[in-house]
Structure 1
């Protein structure tokens, strides 16, 4: 079964993202707006248990932190994806490095890690440029607290749902 790890932003940020995702994101109906922490991967039951133990340990060492989505950006020309970008990547990046270590180390990541919330994907070049040019003009100010990680699994109909939630319990 496929498993992945994500952070869900505030309801306000999710609602804002969904106002664009329903039109521009082909995965709109499969997963709620999120920031990927670890890409999906097919895990055995033993691997799942190892992952749960690892995430439990790591979550006890990471302190909750504040994040803010503050602009629209794109991965063009590498990928025709439009996303909401974080004002500051560092705390998120540190969390990802801790989670994606040891038994959850990612050796086959296709791209360098850039935390983001996808609002459009699988767009043609023309559509991407048209949509992005209008979205870049919009002011974005969506603060949220990162205080938990979600281990997700993919159902038979390709939708994603939460398997387990881990509260970040570290101290600053």
Structure 2
């Protein structure tokens, strides 16, 4: 194409990272039920995942959304699944689900607007695209688990040169973190 540039789409994700020591337990569960590939990705709650052709505009939007949100508590309790629609077993987000939904809605009401195949449902994936026996085991063995933590920031991720997700910026809720 002579005389015109085609903008390249860049993958972008905004997530709630899980604090230590909870992160280590969750990573162990992901390894046990989902294998090393699942454990390689840090446990998180996705707020939005998509792509942008203008990273700067998208980042400015994410910063504005974070600055307008307040810290909130998340409680993870029991398991759920998206089967048979999607091969996923997850921990349920109970307290904090509404706040996650509000942040998600604010993020997609701007340059991150995109079509969702399914409605937004905050959750923490434990097993994904593994055999039914592993998903059944995860769903049964973790059904009584619960944990809670405060969410004071959200992480902005992009793909690095190796194709792995990497943290680009941590954004404190209610303004920049110090």
Same fold flag (TM > 0.5): yes
Partner of 1:22: 31
SS of the residue 1:16 aligns to: helix
Matched, 1:118 2:125: yes
Partner of 2:140: 133
SS of the residue 2:39 aligns to: coil
Aligned residues: 163
Given that 2:50 and 2:112 are in contact with CA atoms closer than 8 Å, whether structure 1 keeps it comes out as no
**What RMSD over aligned residues (CA atoms) do the two structures have, in Å?**
1.7
Q: Distance in 2 between matches of 1:110 and 1:13?
A: 30
Per-residue deviation, 1:56? 1.5
Residue by residue over 1:22-69, the C-alpha shift from the partner in whole angstroms, topping out at 9 and shown as x without a partner, is 13333321x21111111132x33xx11001111111111111111111
Larger relative contact order (Cα-Cα within 8 Å, sequence gap ≥ 6): 1
* TM-score when normalising by structure 2: 0.83
Given that 2:74 and 2:94 are in contact with CA atoms closer than 8 Å, whether structure 1 keeps it comes out as yes
Partner of 1:72: 79
Per-residue deviation, 1:135? 2.6
- Which structure: larger Rg? 2
Partner of 1:103: 111
Q: Distance in 2 between matches of 1:130 and 1:72?
A: 11
TM alignment of 1:79-90, pairs within 5 A: 79-88=86-95, 89-90=97-98
Given that 2:76 and 2:93 are in contact with CA atoms closer than 8 Å, whether structure 1 keeps it comes out as yes
Partner of 2:4: none
TM alignment of 1:37-48, pairs within 5 A: 37-41=47-51, 43-44=52-53, 47-48=54-55
Q: Distance in 2 between matches of 1:127 and 1:143?
A: 25
Partner of 1:62: 69
SS of the residue 1:27 aligns to: helix
Partner of 1:157: 162
Select the residue among 155, 165, 173 that pairs with 1:168: 173
Unmatched tracts of structure 2, length 5 or more: 1-9
* TM-score when normalising by structure 1: 0.86
